[in-house]
Amino acid sequence: MEQRVTRQQFNDYLVPVYAPAEFIPVRGEGSCLWDQTGKDYIDFAGGIAVNALGHRHPEVLRALTEQADKVWHLGNGYTNEPVLRLAKQLVDATFADKIFFCNSGAEANEAALKLARLVGHSKKPNEKNEIIAFKNAFHGRTLFTVTAGGQPKYSQDFAPLPPAITHLPFNDLQAVAEHISARTCAVIVEPVQGEGGVVPANPEFLAGLRELCSQHDAVLIFDEVQTGVGRTGDLYAYQTYGVVPDILTSAKALGGGFPIGAMLTVDSLASHFQPGTHGTTYGGNPLATAVAGKVVEIINTPEVLGGVALRHQWFIERLNQINHQFHVFSEIRGLGLLLGAEMSERYAGQAKHLTQLAAEEGLIALIAGTNVLRFAPSLIIPQEDIEEGLNRLERAVARLCA
Ligand code: PLP
Residue 285, ligand 1, Cβ within 6 A: no
Q: Is the CB of 223 under 6 A from ligand 1?
A: yes
Mean pLDDT, each 10-residue run in order, the chain (402 residues):
88 97 97 98 98 98 98 96 98 98 98 98 97 98 98 96 98 98 98 97 98 98 98 98 98 98 98 97 98 98 98 98 98 98 97 98 96 98 98 98 93
Contacts of 312-317 spanning 24+ positions with Cβ under 8 A: 312/233, 312/336, 312/337, 312/339, 314/383, 314/386, 314/387, 315/339, 315/375, 315/386, 315/390
Let me know if 241 is exposed, middle or buried by CB neighbors in 10 A (0-12, 13-18, 19+): buried
Per CATH, the number for 8-56+302-401 is 3.90.1150.10
Which of 103, 109, 139, 232 gets mutated to test ligand 1 (max ligand atoms within 8 A of its CB)?
139
217 labeled part of a ligand binding site: no
Which is the closest atom of ligand 1 to the Cα of 227? 3
The strand pairing partners of 165, in sequence order, are: 131
Q: Which sequence spans correspond to the domains of the chain?
A: 8-56+302-401, 71-299
> Which protein residue has the closest C-alpha to ligand 1 atom 7?
140
Establish whether residue 194 lines the binding site of ligand 1, counting it when its CB lies within 6 angstroms of any ligand atom: yes
Ligand 1 centroid – CA 261 distance (Å): 10
pLDDT of 18 reads 96
- Mapping DSSP onto H, E and C, the string for 176-199 reads HHHHCCCCEEEEEECCEECCCCCE
Residue 96 assigned to a binding site? no
Distance from residue 154's CA to the centre of ligand 1 (Å): 13
Q: Tell me how crowded residue 230 is: count the other CB atoms within 10 A of its CB.
A: 26
pTM summary value = 0.98
Q: What is the DSSP letter of 344?
A: P
392 labeled part of a ligand binding site? no
* CA distance to 58, 63, 78, 158, 301, per residue, from 290 (Å): 14, 6, 16, 37, 18
Is there an atom of ligand 1 within 6 Å of 225 CB?
yes
C-alpha 251 – ligand 1 centre gap (Å): 8
Does the Cβ of 249 fall within 6 Å of ligand 1?
no
Pick the CATH number of 71-299 from 3.40.50.300, 3.40.50.720, 3.40.640.10, 3.30.2390.10: 3.40.640.10
CA distance 235 to 164: 32
Q: How far is the CA of 138 from the centre of ligand 1 (A)?
A: 7
pLDDT of amino acid 317: 98
Ligand 1 atom index nearest CA of 137: 3
281 annotated as a binding-site residue: yes
pLDDT at residue 3, as a whole number: 78
**Predicted pLDDT at 2:** 72
Report the pLDDT value the prediction gives residue 54, as an integer from 0 to 100.
98
pLDDT for position 223: 98
Tell me what pLDDT residue 95 has.
98
What's the CA gap between 320 and 322, in Å, rounded? 5
